[in-house]
Structure 1
Amino acid sequence: MTYAKDDLRSALTTGAAPRPSGAVAAPEFLDFSVTAPDVVTAAGSRQWIVRGQNFVLIHTEPVPGDVIWSGELRSEQVVLVIDESSGISAGAHAVTGPALVVVPPGAAEIVSTGGGQLTQLIQSDELEWAAKASNADSYAHPHPHVAPLELWPEPVGGYRWRTYRMADVPDDPKRFGRIFRTRAFMVNFLKPNQGPRNPHKLSPHFHDDFEQCSLIVAGTYVHHIQTPWGTDADDWRPEDHARVGSPSATVIPPPTVHTSQAIGSGANHLIDIFSGPRHDFSAQPGWVLNAGDYPAPPA
Structure 2
Amino acid sequence: MYDSSDPRSTLASAADRPAPTQFAGAECGKFYETAPQEDDANGRTWFIRSQNCVVAYTEARDGAHFVRSAQPDEYVLLLPEAGVSAEILTPDGRIAVAGYSIAFVPPGASEIRISGAGPVVRLLTARAEDLAAKCVNAAAYRTPQPNIAPFAPWPDAAAGRRVHAYSLDVPDEPGRFGRIWRGSTLMVNFLPPQSGPRDVTKLSPHHHDDFEQISLALEGAFTHHLRWPWTTNLNNWRDDLHEYCAAPSAMVIPPPAIHTSRGMLEGINQLVDIFCPPRRDFSLKPGWVLNHTDYPMPSESSNAAA
> Which interval holds the TM-score relative to the shorter structure?
over 0.9
Amino acid of the structure 2 residue aligned with 1:10: S
Partner-residue secondary structure (3-state), 1:117: strand
Query: Which residue of 2 is the match for residue 6 of structure 1?
Result: 5
Query: Which residue of 2 is the match for residue 127 of structure 1?
Result: 129
Query: Which residue of 2 is the match for residue 154 of structure 1?
Result: 156
Query: Which residue of 2 is the match for residue 193 of structure 1?
Result: 194
Query: Which residue of 2 is the match for residue 61 of structure 1?
Result: 59
Residue 21 of structure 1: how far off its partner (Å): 2.8
Provide Cα deviations, 1:108-132, integer angstroms capped at 9, x if missing partner. 1212212121111111122222112
1:225 and 1:242 map into 2 onto residues whose CA distance is 8
- Report whether the alignment pairs 1:89 with 2:87: yes
Conserved 8 A contact 1:78-1:122? yes
Conserved 8 A contact 1:212-1:272? yes
Unaligned runs of 5+ in 1: none
Conserved 8 A contact 1:214-1:273? yes
Conserved 8 A contact 2:88-2:97? no
Unaligned runs of 5+ in 2: 301-306
Query: Which residue of 2 is the match for residue 278 of structure 1?
Result: 279
What does 1:8-87 align with in structure 2 at a 5 Å threshold?
A: 8-14=7-13, 20-41=19-40, 43=41, 45-87=43-85
Query: Which residue of 2 is the match for residue 262 of structure 1?
Result: 263
Conserved 8 A contact 2:72-2:127? no
2:68 and 2:264 map into 1 onto residues whose CA distance is 37
Equivalent of 1:164, from 140, 163, 166?
166
Amino acid of the structure 2 residue aligned with 1:29: C
Query: Which residue of 2 is the match for residue 202 of structure 1?
Result: 203
1:178 and 1:191 map into 2 onto residues whose CA distance is 7
1:191 and 1:111 map into 2 onto residues whose CA distance is 28
Amino acid of the structure 2 residue aligned with 1:60: T
Query: Which residue of 1 is the match for residue 298 of structure 2?
Result: 297
Amino acid of the structure 1 residue aligned with 2:59: E
Give the CA RMSD over aligned residues. 1.7
Provide Cα deviations, 1:248-299, integer angstroms capped at 9, x if missing partner. 0100000000000000112100000001111110110111111111111123
Moved more, 62-71 or 8-17: 8-17
Moved more, 9-18 or 272-281: 9-18
What does 1:89-128 align with in structure 2 at a 5 Å threshold?
A: 89-91=87-89, 92-128=94-130
1:113 and 1:70 map into 2 onto residues whose CA distance is 18
Conserved 8 A contact 1:22-1:235? yes
TM-score by length of 1: 0.95
2:147 and 2:233 map into 1 onto residues whose CA distance is 16
Percentage of pairs with the same residue: 43
Conserved 8 A contact 2:222-2:245? yes
Residue 70 of structure 1: how far off its partner (Å): 4.7
1:90 and 1:4 map into 2 onto residues whose CA distance is 41
TM-score by length of 2: 0.93
Residue 86 of structure 1: how far off its partner (Å): 2.2
